[in-house]
Amino acid sequence: MRDAALLELVYSTGARISEAVSLDVDDLDLDGGAPAVRLFGKGRKERVVPVGSFAARAVGAYLVRSRPELSARGRGTPAVFLNARGARMSRQSAWAVLRGAAERAGLGAHVSPHTLRHSFATHLLAGGADVRVVQELLGHASVTTTQLYTLVTPDALREVYAATHPRALG
């Protein structure tokens, strides 16, 4: 449950893996109509990011059903994601969780925690999100950094061409 919650939260929010493992329970607001998480990025810059329903359910289930058992093994840390000893999960452990999930899915070694962050940004932009909104959600200081995610794929080029050019078909 912990691993599923971690992966869902990272993809849903575009969080860096270090931001996710640094989360404390008080940084989560999953009870209201608009679930959100408070993330602390580079330089401890704070931002509040919405949490999607899949992630909110996964994290909520983990907090209720699995975290208490893990927490009982430790010293009462406020960390959201705990290891088997009840201490805060490390970045390396989170990497291992992702690596294992990628292997089980047959995705191989080309998946990293940043892959989920990249997918988050790419999917938002492909869905029509403004690049400045994505910049804020990712916590980028410069829009130039965010624009790296706006690269158009060959499939997207073909799709747009076929759908919009008057002489594309026939």
Q: Which numeric CATH code is attached to 2-164? A: 1.10.443.10
Enumerate residues 6+ apart whose C-beta is below 8 A from 82: 2, 67, 70, 71, 74, 88, 89
Burial class of residue 123, CB neighbours in 10 A (0-12, 13-18, 19+): middle
Cα 107 to Cα 99: distance, rounded to the nearest angstrom = 9
Q: What confidence score (pLDDT) does residue 153 get?
A: 64
Residues annotated catalytic, as ranges: 16, 42, 114, 117, 140, 149
Q: What confidence score (pLDDT) does residue 160 get?
A: 75
Segments of the chain with pLDDT less than 70: 145, 147-153, 170
- Domain map of the chain by residue range? 2-164
Condensed to tens digits (0 to 9), the pLDDT of residues 73-83 reads 999 999 999 99
pTM of the model: 0.82
Angle ∠(157,158,163) on CA atoms, nearest 5? 100
Q: What confidence score (pLDDT) does residue 19 get?
A: 94
